[in-house]
Structure 1
Amino acid sequence: MSRSDTPRLLELLRQNPRAAELAAFPFDFDLGRAEHGEEVRLASGAPLTGIAGDDTGGTYFLSGADGGVLYADSDGRAGLIAESVADALELVAGLPGWRDHVRLSPGTAADEVIAAVGAAEADIRASYAPELDAGRGELLAALGLTPPPPAELFARMHRALRRTEPDHVLLLADEGCAHELLDPHPRLSPAETVLAVCRAALDRLRANRGAWREVAFAPVAGARGSGEHDAHAGRRAGVLHAARYDRRAAHLPLLRHLLEQETLCRGRAALGGMGEELHLAVFLVARLRAEEDLHRLYAARCANFDTWCALSDLPLGLSGKGRGEEPRWEPEALEKWVAALDTPEWFGDDPGHEPIETWIALGRRQGHTELARTALIRALDDIGPADTAELPWITDEFTALGDFRQAARAQRLYTRLQDTDPGRRTAYVRLAALERQSGDLDEAGASLRRALATVDSPPGQDQPTLFDVETTPEDQSPDWSDTGVGLDVTEEHLRLAHAAADAGLPALAHRSLTTGTTLLNTLHRPPPTLFHVAQGASLACGDTDSAARCAALGSREEQRIAEFPYALDDDDDQPLLCGRSSHRSRGWCMTGPVMAASPTAEPTHPSRRTTRSN
């Protein structure tokens, strides 16, 4: 029988009462105890099926698509113990005291393992199973299994245990918290794991110039945002970080290529932005101080408006007198600039000083989704009073992974910590968006109600119908419609209405649409996309009249923007680019929210470096 033939082996055990009886006692693999005491799931979302249990309250699960067996005890610990059901049955029969043996170091000598196994089996025989050896032989013969010696079973179990993370992490289904690892032995940290991947990529590029195309700027058609418009941005970031910790003059040609590609990436970014990788690439090239790189450094500064400002201290011999000025080579000044950045706070060469969010983001951007997810879950589970400032970036990273359920868990905790009405309002609106995206529509509606409860008198709450009152700027509440959160809460009501209609929740859909369109009616000069969101929500709810009105108003606003790209803002008579609203600094423009609830867009939170450099 193939070791991967799990269904057949389990069926054989179920159809053989004597074998099933022996598996249950004395080997504690009881098919009748397959129901776990609490609802659990895998963090990865892969299949999880209980197949047996033991008399301590533990459960054996088929975990994932590869047929591995995960064991969860009754104390909140879990680990992959076998690569197949066949391996698991050989383990419980060949090492009946295996639960105690997980505490032994994986490097324990074979003679020590044999001694520990012998002592455990002697105790079992003396305590409750004098016929242990006969039962083992009968069970294995009935199943057609022949286990290897105890030392090999021990080594095989520990190889499986080391694979628990990241693909077999067990969560409490409702809370989302992870079980602790079944064994206490140390693993590689996320930083070590990701850096090893980055170094392997650097080695490959160093050995094969033809592979440089793997880190060349690769535009993604139709992409928005600073991180998703370049398909190779994450891979290039990993190589740059590897080069940061492996500084060799021989890397200069590759570093030049990376700098040129980062410059292209930032120059083509729809929303500009500096990006930590461009700053790092400039640093790594500048530290080698080759005069022929002067124009590369200058081009990096000129990539966009943000890079021009952020790299204003890069010594290029510019007086700032006007356009057309040529850069000049100033090696002494450049050396001082490099020295100021060659510190743990910036681009030092010790990876141990880099914050964990750097490695999680790098792992995610290079496709190591489960590694990033596991590290984030562990970080969230370990949050204490001194760590609450970590919650926003944890939420952002979960969102970037598309794990909206975990993102909502982090945001929920962050929301509870807000002690002002504006803070609570903003936090509840974001929480509602995450709950909607995770499918918890009723919870999203409750969060939006809590957001509105932070406003003394939400504008438009007494207006009964859609667009039946012509509002003027004087009618607006500056605390509401002149802030980004006013747009956000309006849009989120409309998106929730659409989602609820699609989910067959007409009451929630109608309530959310009514509130959303009423709020929309109070906003001064909403962006056209907000009207289009309202149009879609109205159509989903079956309100074709409102949909038509929203479509007309959106088209009218788009036409106004096209015809008058520079209009006067009614509030302060200052020139305002109609293509960008006064909410630009809060992530809004007249063409819609910058991040627009995109699960693949890069998180908007600044790193400690980009905060300082911008």
Structure 2
Amino acid sequence: MRLASGKPLEPIAGDDTGGTYFLCGGTAVLHASSEGDAVLIADSVGEALEMLVRLPEWCEGLTSELDEDGMIAAVRAGDDEAREEFAPELDAQREALLSGLGLPRRPLVELFAMAESAAGRTDPHQVLLNARELCAYRLHESYRVPLRDVVLGPGREALERLRAGDSGVRKAVADDAVLRAGILWAAYEDWRDEGRRADGRREEDVPLLRFLLERENTVGSERFEERWLAAVLLASYGHDEDAPLLRSATSGAVGSGAVGAWAAGPEAERFGREAESPFTWIDLAFRQGRVEHARAALIRLLDDTGPDAERLRRLSRALERVGDWAQAARAQANLLSLQDSAWDRASEAYALARLERVKGDLAAAGRALHKARTALGLEGGAPDDSVAEWHRRGLGRLVTEQHLELVAAALEAGDGDLARTTMVHARRLLGTVGAESAKALSRLSTRAKWAVAGLPRSGA
């Protein structure tokens, strides 16, 4: 087991059900059950011990709605049953632990609130993974804060300040593209919800939306989605005087006299779909610097993804973006298994080889390249017609490049056998691909050839 964040993880105790207690990052305590659930239970070993001694797992019905008397009654009921069934010396043992360990005796309501607070902070920094399959241990939905709420928090706050006429935040918004993105999505959610109500949308937002669209249009960011979102929001109010700005921002998509109609068409539907996509909030989390939030959301999304090639492709690319090569390779391997044509198998296999190499598993990279060669018909068998001209197209160059990159990585890792074996395949590929591809790879191939030639002979 390991933490997705890469923080230190140390098992410190077990329980009678096969579960394990872990020390995370040297301080916090995480409990993993034998059934695949994991939750942060305390911020320190001392707090964890106090919770386990005074709020044992056999005490059912504990909720944040109970006051101190109700909490005491619930614990007492659980204790009565425990004494009768398996712990006749419970009171003396509990007192010995509290006194012997010097544990505090906080009000039970406070102690329970501490436990709930810790559980709610399991994600994103304490996501426990199975080290072999890399799947995350489950976390109960009640302890998972929706990523949408996390990433929209700054935007919602700034939006309310803009509505209140805060000039200071207006300047900050003008200079911060990521904050503007959060504001626009927060405004979109208000716009969508207000459109469903009988009293309609707030007209006082129109000047604010003009300001946001003008800024997006002036900056001219490559991220056109926010510019178009601002345009949809402003156009929905149907003010013809906004037509020139809208035409400029949308490259003429909005015509004169059809402002409101344009906003109610396919563009509004598209943003409705985007608002329901987890990738929208994952992308915003990454842009905000919340890399661990993005990573945790992506891993849990990958765990829940079946044979969906498009989603797996997006997951692989997004996980690579956050720097989690192992999880990206996991998604890519699943994607590769779904490909039907030889071209697609070769394409996804070389991509998998790159991810495996970057994550440091050179043997796995070699196996992925073997799959690419097999798809191209270089390992025997007859490939389908989709790869008839693979050597004359970009695919040939990409597959060859990954072989040469693996040679270099194997040499750096001191794996001469893998370097030699891979170089044999690389030479064959270099002699097969088009002249332009071979020329483009000449510097890399020359370095690889000389480095392999300098290796000591096998058995020498």
What interval of TM-score do these two structures reach, taking the shorter chain for normalisation? 0.7 to 0.9
Shift of 1:57: 1.5
Give secondary structure in 2 for the equivalent of 1:313. Answer: coil
Q: 1:237 to 1:537 in 2, by over 3 A?
A: farther
* Displacement after TM superposition at 1:174 (Å): 1.2
Counterpart residue number, 1:53: 14
Partner of 2:100: 142
CA contact (8 A) 1:435 1:443 kept: yes
Partner of 1:98: 57
Shift of 1:92: 1.7
Decide whether the 8 Å contact of 1:502 with 1:540 is kept in 2.
Answer: no
Q: 1:91 to 1:199 in 2, by over 3 A?
A: same
The superposition leaves residues 3-29 of structure 1 with CA deviations (integer Å, 9 ceiling, x where unpaired) of: xxxxxxxxxxxxxxxxxxxxxxxxxxx
Is 1:525 paired with 2:436? Answer: yes
Residues 526/299 of structure 1: CA separation in 2 closer, same or farther (3 Å cut): farther
**1:196: Cα distance to partner?**
3.1
Letter matched to residue 159 of structure 1: S
Give the counterpart letter for 1:47 in structure 2.
Answer: P
Q: Which residue of 1 aligns with 2:195?
A: none
Which residue pairs with 1:245 in the alignment? 189
Q: Report how far residue 341 of structure 1 moved.
A: 4.1
Match of residue 70 from structure 1: 30
Aligned partner (choices 283, 286, 291) of residue 369 of structure 1: 291
2:260 corresponds in structure 1 to 335
User: Given the alignment of the two structures, is residue 172 of structure 1 paired with residue 130 of structure 2, yes or no?
Assistant: yes
Give the structure 2 partner of residue 432 of structure 1. 353
CA contact (8 A) 1:91 1:98 kept: no
Aligned with residue 421 of structure 2, among 511, 524, 527 = 511
Query: Secondary structure of the equivalent of 1:70?
Result: strand
Give the match's secondary structure for 2:265: helix
Which of 304, 314, 323 lines up with 1:382 in the alignment?
304
Identity value in percent: 42
Within the candidate set 489, 502, 505, 2:399 is matched to 489
Matching residue of 1:278: 227
Residues 162, 187 of structure 1: 8 Å contact kept: yes
Aligned AA (1:519):
L
Matched, 1:116 2:74: yes
Does structure 2 retain, via aligned residues, the 8 Å contact 1:58–1:74?
Answer: yes
5 Å-filtered alignment, 1:395-544, equals 395-457=316-378, 479-521=389-431, 522-526=433-437, 530-534=441-445, 537=448
Deviation, 1:78, is 1.0
What are the Cα deviations for residues 24-72 of structure 1, in whole angstroms up to 9, with x where unaligned?
xxxxxxxxxxxxxxxx11111111111111222111111135x111011
Q: 1:261 to 1:124 in 2, by over 3 A?
A: same
What is the TM-score when the length of structure 2 is the normalising length? 0.84
**Is the Cα contact below 8 Å between 1:64 and 1:168 reproduced in 2?**
no
Secondary structure of the residue aligned to 1:397 is helix
Which amino acid counterpart does residue 280 of structure 1 have in structure 2?
L
Contact 2:58 2:82 in 1 (8 A): no
- Measure the CA separation in 1 of the matches of 2:371 and 2:64: 52
Task: Report the Cα offset of residue 290 of structure 1.
Answer: 5.4
For residues 184-209 of structure 1, the C-alpha deviation after alignment (integer angstroms, 9 at most, x for no partner) is 63644223333334312433555533
The question of whether the paired residues in 1 share the 8 Å contact of 2:238 and 2:260 is answered with yes
Aligned-pair distance for 1:86? 0.9
Q: What is the alpha-carbon distance in structure 2 between the residues aligned to residue 527 and residue 212 of structure 1?
A: 54
Partner AA of 2:182 in structure 1: G
Offset at residue 380 of structure 1 (A): 1.4
For residues 157 and 299 of structure 1, do their structure 2 counterparts lie closer, same or farther at Cα, with a shift above 3 Å needed? same
Deviates more, 1:447-456 or 1:518-527: 518-527
- Once the two structures are superposed, residues 464-495 of structure 1 have per-residue CA deviations (whole angstroms, 9 ceiling, x without a partner) of xxxxxxxxxxxxx8621333322221221122
The residue type paired with residue 503 of structure 1 is A
Residues in 2 aligned to 1:256 and 1:538: alpha-carbon distance in whole angstroms: 60
| Letter of the 1:420 counterpart | S
Corresponding residue for residue 216 of structure 2: 262
1:41 maps to amino acid = R
- SS class of match (2:129): strand
Letter in 2 for 1:491: E
Partner of residue 359, structure 1: 281
2:270 to 327, 336, 346: 346
Cα distance, 1:291 vs structure 2: 5.9
2:48, 2:424 → 1: CA distance? 57
Tell me how far apart the structure 1 counterparts of residues 112 and 19 of structure 2 sit (CA, whole Å). Answer: 20
Structure 1 runs not aligned, ≥5 long: 1-39, 218-231, 302-310, 316-329, 459-476, 545-614
Question: What is the CA–CA distance in structure 1 between the aligned matches of 2:239 and 2:247, rounded to whole Å?
Answer: 13
**What is the match of residue 314 of structure 2?**
393
Q: Distance in 2 between matches of 1:239 and 1:186?
A: 26
Deviations 1:298-336 (A, max 9, x none): 4435xxxxxxxxx55332xxxxxxxxxxxxxx1x22222
Output the CA distance in 2 between the equivalents of 1:49 and 1:375: 24
Q: CA RMSD in A?
A: 3.1
1:445 deviates by: 0.9
Question: Could you give the per-residue CA deviations for residues 412-457 of structure 1, whole angstroms, max 9, x where no partner exists?
Answer: 1111111221121111111111111211111011101111111124
Any conservation in 1 of the 2:62–2:74 contact (CA below 8 Å)? Answer: no
Secondary structure, counterpart of 2:41 in structure 1: strand
CA displacement, residues 257-295 of structure 1 (integer Å, 9 cap, x when unaligned): 44344345546x5xxxx7322321332343345566555
C-alpha distance in 1 between matches for 2:449 and 2:235 = 56
Over 3 Å counting, the alpha-carbon distance change for 1:312 and 1:291 in structure 2 is closer
Normalised by the length of structure 1, the TM-score is 0.64
Whether the aligned pair in 1 keeps the contact of 2:152 and 2:183 (CA below 8 Å) is: no
